[in-house]
Chains A and B, each alone.
Chain A
Amino acid sequence: MSVLEQYAYSNRLRYVHPAEKIFFVLATLIFLLATSQIKIYIFVLVVVSVLLIGVAGIPVAFYLRLLLLPLSFLITSGAVIALTVTATPDLLLSISLGRFTLGVTREGLLVAAKACLKALASVACLYFLALTTPIVDGTAVLRRLRVPGLVLDLLTLTYRFSSVLLDTAIKMYISQSSRLGYSSLPRSFRSLGYLISNLFLKSYEQAKMLNITLSSRGYQGEFRVLEHPFHLSKRNLILIGLWLILLGALAWPGGGGKLVVRIGY
């Protein structure tokens, strides 16, 4: 989680307007969901991966490991989709189980591959957002989109405090284990118990303190802050437009024509 964030702050697309990145990802995701053509899935997966590695500068090994995370889950669910149980044994591969046969059909395999690739391409899109756009930039866009301030303030605080919480937990864990707190199983349980209960006490104290420190700076119920001045780039917008047209053209013979018009606007 925290490594992902490190890249979000240091990648080469960091200073691209977050709205452009969000629009790119959302439009592509909608496209993926709407189309049922396997070549589009593969195309999106390849292009997004190339963008992340080649343009944003995310290390290949790290990115592949990220993609592997959902893969194990995809393979098992893919297998379940691919498997068929029938009484008529005309399957590619099969085992017979008494009256029934368990196996895979060509269609089943295709459906499974489609589902897996669709999911993988969508995940790659989401990674694109997560790896190039820090949360704070995202909230800036949401603010432009007139999302209520209260929601954004909550988002800001939740985000900040989940890092504080994680940080505190890690510090406590290090401090405990450096004093042999996790040297045996029973001791580990006890240490973990202390850690969890203290973590909550600490967070509570910290939340109270935050209220104090905010009000000492004149907090009146709304966070008004400077945001990084991002500029929309014409070039990027044109590229995104071209990308969507390209996707549309690819999908065209498969009857995706109407969709293109809708997204093109």
Chain B
Amino acid sequence: MSYVLATEGLDYTYPNGTQALKGVSLKIPKGSKAAILGPNGAGKSTLFLHFNGILKPQRGKVIYEGKELRYDRTSLLNLRQKVGIVFQDPDTQLFSASVIQEVSFGPFNLGLPEAEVKRRVEKALALTGIEDLADKPTHFLSYGQKKRVCLAAVLAMEPEVLILDEPTAYLDPQLVRQLIDFLEELHRQGRTVILSTHDVDLAYTWADQVFILKAGKLVTSGRPEEVFADRKLVEEVGLALPWIWEVYQRLKELGWPVEAPPPRSKEELLRELPCPIYQKIGR
């Protein structure tokens, strides 16, 4: 398997002495859907800043497409054309008072011609459902709307690797669904999507790779069903188990046919519920 992004023994300490990352080594397979989980302050955002070359590791290295990151101007520009990041706090990302200006900024920096920029901006606005906000000033928007604008601003750059720092926070359920559908679409195009979240259900259903960070250390990683199989570890970290996983485990205890693969979504769970178990529970 080839890895699009990887880190080796990454250490990072903020100037005020907070050790945010402690020897993090991880590998993100190309074309995967990776979810980074971890409690507040675990170091997720700090890790993402390394993926985009914004923070330089104090020890260890970041590897993109098999090559160690270099931090000169042109290398960074090249990296940032391929790796896009949507930041956690929209207010830090918005520089312009106009939505359309904000969204067109990235594509222009890629050196695209104006017609193409227009096309991409329209597409990104449609995808995030904010066509009607295009001419509104960003400071009159609600928080969730601002998040959509930031999302559109990076989607319009159509990066190879899309990094999203808590993309679902503040979004309404409808947009969360749309976002997930869209991430699926990117996945089908062979792009890599990395997101951080506190939503274990989302991570379990959507991701094919899960990484759990705690206090700057990588605690565990692997396929979601491998990671969540270790109930004790997950709970120690301060995370809950996905409810689908909990129900599945309980059903297995009650006699669920073990050969069935664990269900990944509510639909899968409901579809596969066997009759004998209904009877057993109803006992």
Contacts and interface: CB of A to CB of B under 8 A. Distances in A.
Whether both chains belong to one complex is answered with yes
Given A217-B109, A218-B77, A157 B54 contact: no
B92 A209 contact: yes
B56 to A, nearest CB: 12
A224 B157 CA distance: 14
A147 interface: no
B80 A218 contact: yes
A226 B125 CA distance: 13
Contacts of A235: none
A139 to B, nearest CB: 9
B87 A159 contact: no
A160 B80 contact: no
A136 B136 CA distance: 11
Given A210-B95, A217-B109, A226-B118, A163 B139 contact: yes
A189 interface: no
Nearest to B111: A218
B191 to A, nearest CB: 17
Contacts of A210: 92-93, 95
Contacts of B121: 226
Closest 6 CB pairs of A and B: A218-B109, A226-B104, A209-B92, A225-B101, A224-B108, A163-B139
10 contacts: A134-B137, A156-B95, A164-B91, A206-B91, A206-B92, A209-B87, A212-B49, A223-B95, A226-B121, A228-B98
B203 interface: no
A37 interface: no
Interface in A52-88: none
Contacts, number: 107
A215 B75 CA distance: 13
A164 B146 CA distance: 13
A141 B185 CA distance: 39
Interface band, chain A: 20 to 34
B139 A156 contact: no
A225 B97 contact: no
Interface residues of B, number: 42
B139 A216 contact: no
Interface in B199-222: none
B140 A9 contact: yes
Contacts of B96: 136, 156, 160, 223, 225
Interface string A211-222: 011111111100
Contact of B114 (A167, A213, A223, A226): A226
B137 A224 contact: no
A212 B77 CA distance: 13
A135 B98 CA distance: 10
